[in-house]
Amino acid sequence: MSQLAPPAPPVFSPYAPLYTDDLSRTIGALQHLQVLLVGRPDATLADVSQLVSAMQQEFGSSESLEQVIQALVGRHLAKQVARRSRPALPPAQEVTS
């Protein structure tokens, strides 16, 4: 019987934020939401609530965050593949008069 190698320890980026407690994690989550809502100046908790409500309508309120993330990643990858599989446009011709 073969021996399985022990799992490698996780690799952490020196640039990643370090959330050491609940308050730090909450601040970090709110900062990520603020970035997500960058198109809305002075985003509020109501904006966050609307975002979450829209996600609940689309995926269901009991869907796990992991499943929602995976579905969104799948959509994102599908768009990238579709964009890359389109034929390239010919270079623009220079107009001379």
pTM summary value: 0.60
Q: Where are the domains of the chain?
A: 22-85
Per-residue pLDDT tens listing for the chain (97 residues): 456 667 666 566 666 667 788 899 899 899 999 998 988 889 999 999 999 999 999 999 999 999 999 999 999 999 999 999 887 767 766 666 5
Q: How many CB atoms lie within 10 A of CB 15?
A: 5
